[in-house]
A and B are shown apart, each in its own frame.
Chain A
Amino acid sequence: MTQMTKATKHDRILLAHGGGGQLMDDLIRRHILPGLKNDTLDELGDSAKLDLASGSVCFTTDSYVVKPLFFNGGDIGKLAVCGTVNDLAVAGSKPVALTLSLIIEDGFEIELLDKILASIGETAGRIGVDIVTGDTKTVETGAADRIFINTAGIGIRLADVDLDFEKIAVGDKIIINGTIGDHGMTIISQREEIKFQSQLKSDCAPLAGLTVELLESTTGIKFMRDPTRGGLAATLNEIARSTALSVEIREIDVPVRPIVQAAADMLGFDVLTIANEGKFVAVVSPESADECLSVCRNHPLGKEAEIIGEVVETRDVPLVEIETRIGGKRIVQMPYGRELPRIC
């Protein structure tokens, strides 16, 4: 006799999966929970209760709408964990817990959802961060471009670490932990209208391990930020704007993979403005620069770290300038916010 099960196996998301009833319960228990297993999440309370040592916390949120969902070097799930973890990391904290909010289109393949969830679970597990609470919503086809994800994160601030724009001073050195432009060019290479085959690979990676090590083993780090959208250009301009100081970097010291440079050249993009998802910029005291560099280079995510420049006095307006390979000088402006491929 065949047994009728209440939860019928579906291969695509239905609107009912977001309805708070049987189907959603089934989705959570059979697809979402298993990969993210932890006691707090298993309670499925409306809120997660966290016992944290007293002190101060860092708290952040980010939404992830990347297309394509799967790309060389990662996927929207890995990105959703790394992006938020990295925001906590560069704020000088140790990430402990994340929320996970899914907005899924009617018709989205559950097999793909499972892949994304597995990626989230795997990435979070590797870092030692728990997804402690979440939410699932479904929307009509077309309303969410397949799937949107939001994660919020809490981190415990490291003792004696206070990263702040205000600490930045003339003479401070600027360090980046590796090559730029990898993530953005990888995504662009898979955009519908541009698509080209490539060995480009996103640098999507969780930085907390490296940043915690840096902050715990050195003194002298004044400020950190991850150069995501807008790239290195945007981050350096934010630093200049917030400190009213100027920044000078050297093109020859900025690490770029030839494959990334060539891809940017083909489309007329400036690699300085392309997004990164596994990089941070650190502003450090001149005395501590070499030591910081050494710590980075001994870590898998910092092998190609470089000191790329320094903070300098402002002449008239705070500017970011780059000394080019040929010894020329030019300004690095805040990017427009959208790179368009050129033929001219």
Chain B
Amino acid sequence: MLDRINKAQNDINTACQTLGRQINIMEVCGTHTVSIFRNGIRSILPKNLKLLSGPGCPVCVTNQGYIDVVLQLADRDDCIIATYGDMIRVPGKEGSLETKQAKTNVKVVLSSEDALQLAKDNPGKTVVFVAVGFETTTPATAVVVKEATAGAIDNFCILSGHKLVIPAMRALLSEKNDNINAFLCPGHVSAIIGYGAFAEIVEEFDRPCVVAGFEPVQIIEGLCEICRQLSTGKAELKSMYSAVVTEKGNIAAQKIIDECFEPVDGYWRGLGKIPKSTLKLKDKYSQFDASKRFGISEEPSEEIKGCRCGEVLCGLIEPPDCGLFGRNCTPQEPVGPCMVSSEGACAAWFKYGRDK
């Protein structure tokens, strides 16, 4: 694979030299952020090619209000909180799920099915599944909501924090950031929604959209394809991840999302309100909606003084540009979600690269 990488690297260098100007490519996927850092990809790219870390980290873009609701529920003795590990250290107004773990009612799960099983095993408690993630993860939640319905598992509910990628990309381009020349699109979201879903970004905004997987060779070949397109001046939609991604995507998964959820307006940390960008359970399944069941709703979050997570998420600044980075805000004591989540731009930057 090294020869493929070297070839792609050469082609990127040539293209960037020819283009001569600053090129900004946004990677819309936190897993891409981590992979790019872990493999030291920035260190082998030409100086005029900049990778922006976008709002693709579901933990990072989750409003503090959502986290505070989860923490409130964690305080209840009649609740068990089932969460993916990603959420454990995200800080709310008062502590995080990690600090609540001493209470033993916070359980890390690897799958929504584990959360449902917890409900079956603990009939005296209500299990609240912290359902975050983009389209890759949403179907897993939908499956268990349907299973809970079929099995009449009444002591199970979800707090939906699921979000949609395309509305965020549109919001970025419409209002926030003209700087973005192209997108490296998320490979596994595409496995669900199909790479065809990004066509509207190419057509309406004339930006290259290239879907790539997460191995370094795929990322670099994806970047190479973007540079090629920028050189020709013609924005195209292309998938470099044919091993798993098709144009139409996973229809069964799309159907089940559609059956259980509907898009509503939602608040994204750093991006503000984005229309039809978050998912809410349809009325048919509202009995499994934790916020309805407990009568708690998200409060609009107050931004923490000095925290510039929002600008980092939009790719407007880099982590070191934030005054708190590395000082008051470190992985050991994170202030904003960009530092908490292992795939947040700030955490990745801190862990893997100081000068790149």
**CB–CB under 8 A between A and B in the complex?**
yes
Q: Which residues of A contact B (CB under 8 A)?
A: 193-194, 267-268, 270, 319, 322-331, 333, 336, 340-344
B2 touches A326 (CB 8 A): yes
Q: Collect the chain B residues with CB atoms within 8 Å of residue A267's CB.
A: 110
Which of B44, B109, B351 interacts with A326 by CB under 8 Å?
B44
CA–CA, A2 to B59, complex, Å?
A: 70
As a 0/1 sequence over residues 178 to 211 of chain B, the CB contacts with chain A under 8 angstroms (1 = contact) are: 0000000000000000000000000000000000
Which of A194, A324, A329, A340 interacts with B86 by CB under 8 Å?
A340
CA–CA, A323 to B114, complex, Å?
A: 38
CA–CA, A319 to B353, complex, Å?
A: 10
Total interface residues in chain B, CB < 8 Å: 41
Answer whether residue B228 sits at the interface, using C-beta atoms and an 8 A cutoff: no
For B114, the closest partner residue in chain A by CB is: A193
| The 5 residue pairs across chains A and B that have the minimum distance between CB atoms | A328-B40, A340-B85, A330-B40, A330-B352, A341-B85
A194 touches B110 (CB 8 A): yes
Q: Collect the chain A residues with CB atoms within 8 Å of residue B57's CB.
A: 344
Residue pairs across A and B with Cβ atoms less than 8 A apart, 13 shown, are A268-B85, A323-B40, A324-B38, A325-B2, A326-B44, A328-B41, A329-B40, A330-B38, A330-B40, A341-B110, A342-B84, A344-B84, A344-B133
Contacts A193-B108, A344-B133 known; 5 new A-B pairs at CB < 8 A? A330-B40, A330-B352, A333-B331, A340-B89, A342-B84
Which of B43, B216, B350 interacts with A329 by CB under 8 Å?
B43
Answer whether residue B137 sits at the interface, using C-beta atoms and an 8 A cutoff: yes
CA–CA, A194 to B350, complex, Å?
A: 28
Q: What is the CB-to-nearest-CB distance from B307 to chain A, in angstroms, rounded to a whole number?
A: 20
As a 0/1 sequence over residues 10 to 54 of chain B, the CB contacts with chain A under 8 angstroms (1 = contact) are: 000000000000000000001100000111111110000000000
CA–CA, A290 to B157, complex, Å?
A: 60
Interface secondary structure of A, over-half rule: loop
Mark out the residues of chain B between 107 and 152 whose CB falls within 8 Å of any chain A CB in the assembled complex: 107-110, 114, 133, 137
Q: Collect the chain B residues with CB atoms within 8 Å of residue A329's CB.
A: 40, 43, 356
Q: Collect the chain A residues with CB atoms within 8 Å of residue B350's CB.
A: 333
Q: Collect the chain B residues with CB atoms within 8 Å of residue A342's CB.
A: 84-86, 342-343
CA–CA, A331 to B39, complex, Å?
A: 10
As a 0/1 sequence over residues 41 to 83 of chain B, the CB contacts with chain A under 8 angstroms (1 = contact) are: 1111000000000000111000000000000000000000000
For B108, B110, B137, the residue with the greatest tally of chain A CB atoms inside 10 Å of its CB is B110
As a 0/1 sequence over residues 335 to 354 of chain B, the CB contacts with chain A under 8 angstroms (1 = contact) are: 00000011100000011111
A344 touches B86 (CB 8 A): yes
Answer whether residue B220 sits at the interface, using C-beta atoms and an 8 A cutoff: yes
For A268, A326, A341, the residue with the greatest tally of chain B CB atoms inside 10 Å of its CB is A326
For A195, the closest partner residue in chain B by CB is: B110
Answer whether residue B5 sits at the interface, using C-beta atoms and an 8 A cutoff: yes
CA–CA, A322 to B39, complex, Å?
A: 9
Given A342-B342, A344-B31, A344-B133: A326 and B220 interface contact (C-beta under 8 Å): yes
Q: Collect the chain B residues with CB atoms within 8 Å of residue A336's CB.
A: 331-332
A324 touches B216 (CB 8 A): yes
B38 touches A326 (CB 8 A): no
A193 touches B37 (CB 8 A): no
CA–CA, A193 to B57, complex, Å?
A: 24
For B8, the closest partner residue in chain A by CB is: A326
CA–CA, A62 to B133, complex, Å?
A: 41
Q: Collect the chain B residues with CB atoms within 8 Å of residue A340's CB.
A: 85-86, 88-89, 108, 342
Mark out the residues of chain B between 75 and 103 whose CB falls within 8 Å of any chain A CB in the assembled complex: 84-86, 88-89
Q: Collect the chain A residues with CB atoms within 8 Å of residue B353's CB.
A: 330-331
A344 touches B332 (CB 8 A): no
